[in-house]
Amino acid sequence: MNRPIVTLTTDFGPGPFPGLMKGVILGICPNANLVDLSHAVPAQDVRAGALVIEQALGVFPSGTVHLGVVDPGVGTSRRPMAAAALGMLFVGPDNGLFTPALMADPRARIHELRETALFRQPVCATFHGRDVFAPVAARLAGGLDLHRLGPPIQDPVLLTWPQPREENGVLHGSVLSADSFGNLDTNLPRDLVEAFLAGRRAEVRLGALRIIDIQGAYGQATAGQPLALFNSMDRLELAISQGNLYARLAPERGSAFGLAVEVRGVD
């Protein structure tokens, strides 16, 4: 018998909270295969959590339950939700955490969590991860149908998510995030960039930074040299070989999100 997969993404950091959620899940669905995506999402940074979950969309098999708890509105009127999208299930707060999945699947089905009999009792207003989301994720992993959870949601919260655009011979994109190495992930997918370049060499600009050509690996640039390459998400990434590009360019911003990137073709 296949073991249902439940992933966990939180901003809880070190401590017992992820383990307590796992205990609730295993108490309801003992054969669940629990996978930690990250518990190091910056505190209350919903967009950073969404970017973590986005990376899982093309990796985990159909039927996976993604449990996400980055929830600065816990205990308020924000809705708890579950969604079916891209052949997977998503459980967490309706605050934009699942934006990538919902945007990628126009047929996504979303329900508010209203059936309190499915929750752990009593529900603590400050720990819905343990008392609301974990038990619901466990029951979905065990085969509970989404419609049993509560009424449909027609207006889920979606984060502003920048989209690439081509204008006057320039492909415009945005930085989505910086990883722990200071490499900058953009919203420019390989197929779009390669189609735009049509065999030409690339000139990539980010502010005053200008990079010629797209490399195949970090080591193809000399130490300290900025470079562009396609990362494991098959998106354009900007980096410094053996260095930290984010620390060089934008440490005072507090976030790399939204930095403008331009790609031009060089004949």
Confidence class of residue 252 from pLDDT cuts 50, 70 and 90? low
Q: Which of 242, 241, 245 is nearest to 206 (CA)?
A: 245
Q: How far apart are CA 46 and CA 175, in angstroms?
A: 16
Q: Which helix (H) or strand (E) holds 135?
A: helix 134-141
- Chain length of the chain: 267
The two tokens of residue 201 are: 């060499």
DSSP conformation letters of 11-28: S--SSSHHHHHHHHHHHH
Residue 73's alpha-carbon distances to 49, 77, 83, 109, in angstroms, are: 14, 8, 19, 23
- pLDDT tens for 192-237 read 999 999 999 999 999 999 999 999 999 999 999 999 999 999 999 9
The two tokens of residue 219 are: 């080591």
Which pLDDT score, from 0 to 100, does residue 256 have?
86
pTM of the model: 0.92
Query: What average pLDDT does range 133-153 have in this prediction?
Result: 97
- Answer whether 187's CB lies under 8 Å from 172's CB: no
* Mean pLDDT across the chain: 95
Q: Which helix (H) or strand (E) holds 247?
A: helix 245-249
Q: How far apart are CA 93 and CA 96, in angstroms?
A: 8
The two tokens of residue 154 are: 């027609």
- pLDDT tens for 57-116 read 999 999 999 999 999 999 999 999 999 999 999 999 999 999 999 999 999 999 999 999
Confidence class of residue 255 from pLDDT cuts 50, 70 and 90? confident
The answer, yes or no, to whether residue 250 has pLDDT greater than 70, is no
Q: How far apart are CA 165 and CA 196, in angstroms?
A: 11
Which pLDDT score, from 0 to 100, does residue 2 have?
82
- In the chain the domains, ranked by start, together with CATH numbers, are 5-148 (3.40.50.10790), 165-266 (2.40.30.90)
77-81, 136-140, 250-254 — which is least confidently predicted? 250-254
